[in-house]
Chains A and B, each alone.
Chain A
Amino acid sequence: MWLLFQRSVSEVVMTTGVLNPSHYPGRRAATVVQHYLNTRYGSPYRWIFLSKVHNGSAEDVAEMGRKYQLELTVQEMISNVSGQCSAELLFPGGEGQSAPQVQASCEGLLQSNTTAQEEAFYQQHRASNNMVSGKDIPNSYGHMEPSMKPFWHLGGVASSFIMLRESNESTLYNMAQVANFTQLETEKDQLRFNYHVLLHEMISQEIIHWKLLVTWSPEQGVKVLQTELQPKCHDCEAPPNTTN
């Protein structure tokens, strides 16, 4: 009898017109803007999060997709500085899964002066005699060593490249954890890292594993050179031998 009901995960009719700022469509679109801002401005000492959606609107654009206009506040998490942003984004329609296109301008966001910290961090790690690595950031208790924090931020910013690319109107991404990272030899003055990150997609509630090749320097910012989706491990799910 249950087969008669169509069980679908798809959304209902897309909201068009003025958006209620506390409803999900504005928040999902604003989170995409957050990911975009991190790809542009993020660093080991600058990590941006959505604070609040103030207002927005959505409309269908013929042969292109769906366009959103948003006014939002974002917060830089290390300095606690807030910025007001105006953004426009397009979720492309059509068959292919292509990334949303974002334009955003923010006031007050880049006030925090990260230059000294970034330069010190860069100099500390560019010489290749002591490659850094880490895992489980944050750990199960939400804890991380202070020395790991910039690598956590860097993982979050690098994840934003994937989260931006993978986002659509039916997704809401956050980075759940840096599973591990390893520093590689500095090349062309860029610090280089292999990262394994866990992304949490809120609507499906899935944890998605990605491996990334990440570079950074204060001048060039964060770049993601390679991404590799990791398969979900079903064999890992069987009960362990010990129970308590």
Chain B
Amino acid sequence: MMMLGLGSVGLVLLSLAVQSGHGAQDSDVWSTEETTERNYYTRYHNMSDITAWMEQMKRENPDVVSSMVYGQTYERRDITLLKIGLSSTGRKKAIWMDCGIHAREWIAPAFCQYFVREILRTYKTDTKVNEMMKNLDFYITPVLNVDGYIYSWHNASTRLWRKSRSPGTGGCTCYGTDLNRNFYANWGMVGVSTDCCSQTYCGTKAISESEARAVTDMLGKMREDILAFLTIHSYGQLLLVPYGHPNISAPNYDELMEVGLGAAKAIKAVHGMDYTVGTSPDVLYANSGSSRDFARLIGIPLSFTFELRDKGEHGFELPEDQIQPTCEEAYAGAHHIITYAHDKAFYSSAATITATLWTTLLAAWVSSATLL
């Protein structure tokens, strides 16, 4: 937000500072025309770019896009989400998506930006997206770990930073807590380290980190309304379902696997890429304190971690020419899950029976009232 106030001079200076290594684009000053071009969504963007882009999304789509600051990072930066949906008078169901909980996974914020652009581009013409925009609100956080993400843009030696930027405590001089080990979900039990220098340091206690607290508070407020929770990471080409603890199964494991496998099939149909589906302990490693696990624990039925491209050739430094195909396939996977969640809530026989029941009761009440 602050960067907008600096004006174009500030933006030019900033763009020069982060210039090195881009392909075609010389400057990071994006005009409105340029952001509507496909070219914008085939580049990685620093935090001030993304902040400016969020403002632009609101400005260009005022009837469907608003933003919400729902917390502060350790370094006191805003954590902002975009709320996207056709406005309605009643309370709406929701879809949650967050990107960039791990700073070095740059393809994740790029996907959140792509996802937002895609639903805004298609909701007027695509009947399904339109229907979902009517019935749901999308809550999308393009960058959750803002401090870490900014740090990873600082220079080549900080590029592979993962954690938050809070300092160590108790004589430990390293920085950062792994935000995806810090949630109140079997916190500290498995797949974590108590050494603050470790990449999987789970923090001094559950939700010690303000970033994790911000998500926890939002989910707590919204939990009855959220139909699906998607958290976006890289790399590995995986779709992970709860839980991270090897001895605990989600009550709807079969449903999660079925929906996950459907999403993987949709992903493969786009560019032929294989995404493996399973619990984290089965297909990757055991872990605790993840946001995905917390979401499932508080009752959000469909909770998934996306691990996007690739499988290790480039790893975290995915080439920009792979941003678009990665986003296209990930969008297909996310769309599959969101459609399932939406249709289950608005089309299932349970929903229909409930509606019919209420109609019948109301009719009976009305008729009995007129008799009196």
Measured between beta carbons, the chain B residues less than 8 angstroms from A190 are: none
A-B pairs with beta carbons under 8 Å apart, 9 shown: A136-B21, A138-B314, A140-B21, A141-B43, A174-B315, A177-B160, A202-B284, A237-B175, A244-B46
Given A24-B283, A237-B174, A141 contacting B319 (CB threshold 8 A): yes
- A203 interface residue per 8 A CB criterion: yes
B31 interfacial by beta-carbon distance below 8 Å: no
Q: Which residues on the A side are within 8 Å of B165 (C-beta)? A: 239
* Other-chain contact of B282, A24, A52, A177 (Cβ < 8 Å): A24
Binds B, one of A7-15, A87-95, A113-121, A212-220: A7-15
Query: Which residues of the other chain, B, contact A49 by a CB distance below 8 angstroms?
Result: 311-313
Q: Which residues of A contact B64 (CB under 8 A)?
A: none
Interface size class of B (residues with CB under 8 A): 35 or more
User: A244 contacts B317, CB within 8 Å?
Assistant: no
Q: By DSSP majority rule, is chain B's interface helix, strand, loop, or mixed?
A: loop
| Assembled-state Cα–Cα distance A242/B14 (Å) | 12
CB distance from B14 to the nearest CB of A (A): 7
Complex Cα distance, B315 from A240, in Å, reads 25
- What's the tally of chain A residues with a CB closer than 8 Å to chain B? 47
Whether A236 sits at the interface, judged by CB under 8 Å, is: yes
Would A24 and B285 count as touching, CB distance under 8 A? yes
The 8 A CB mask of A135-152 against B (1 = contact, 0 = none) is 110111111000000000
Interface presence of B156 (CB below 8 A) = yes
Contacting A234 at CB < 8 Å: which of B22, B173, B190? B173
Asked if A138 and B199 make an inter-chain contact with CB atoms under 8 angstroms apart, the answer reads: no
Q: B198: CB under 8 A from chain A?
A: yes
Give the secondary structure class of A's interface: loop
Beta-carbon contact of B44 and A205 below 8 Å: no
CB pair B317 A139 closer than 8 Å: yes
Contact A24–B284 (Cβ < 8 Å): yes
Query: Is A80 on the interface with B (CB-CB < 8 A)?
Result: no
CB atoms of B194 and A142 under 8 A apart: no
- Flag whether A204 is at the interface (Cβ < 8 A): yes
Name B residues whose Cβ lies closer than 8 Å to a Cβ of A.
3, 14, 20-23, 43-44, 46-48, 75, 106, 150-151, 153-154, 156-160, 162, 165, 173-176, 178, 188-194, 197-200, 202, 205, 236, 246, 274, 276-278, 281-286, 311-320, 322
A170, closest chain B residue (CB): B285
Whole-angstrom distance between the alpha carbons of A139 and B190 in the complex? 34
Expressed in whole angstroms, the minimum distance between the Cβ of A55 and any Cβ of chain B is 15
A9 to B286, CA, bound (A): 9
The smallest beta-carbon distance between B35 and chain A, in angstroms, is 18
Instruction: Give the complex CA separation of A174 and B194 in angstroms.
Output: 25
Q: What is the distance, in angstroms, from B74's C-beta to the closest C-beta of chain A?
A: 10
Binary interface encoding of chain A residues 18-38 relative to chain B, with 1 for a CB under 8 A from any of its CBs, else 0? 001011100100010000000
Q: A206-B198, A244-B47 are in contact. List 18 more A-B contacts (CB 8 A).
A: A2-B188, A7-B194, A9-B193, A22-B283, A23-B283, A24-B283, A24-B285, A27-B283, A31-B312, A49-B313, A140-B106, A143-B22, A174-B312, A203-B285, A205-B162, A234-B174, A238-B175, A239-B165
B44: chain A residues within 8 A (beta carbon)? 140-141
User: Which 6 A-B pairs rank lowest in CB-CB distance, beginning with the nearest?
Assistant: A142-B319, A174-B312, A205-B199, A139-B21, A142-B317, A237-B175
Known: A23-B283, A232-B197, A244-B48. A2 touches B205 (CB 8 A): yes
Tell me whether B317 and A9 are in contact (CB under 8 A).
no
Tell whether A23 pairs with B162 under 8 Å between CB atoms, given A139-B156, A141-B21, A142-B318: no
B175 CB contacts on chain A under 8 angstroms: 237-239
B156→A8 contact, CB < 8 A: no
Residue of B176, B189, B285 with highest tally of chain A CB at under 10 A = B285
Query: A12 vs B281: C-alpha distance in the bound complex, in angstroms?
Result: 9
A109: which B residues are within 8 A, CB to CB? none
A184 contacts the other chain (Cβ, under 8 Å)? no
Most buried by A among B43, B153, B191, B282: B191
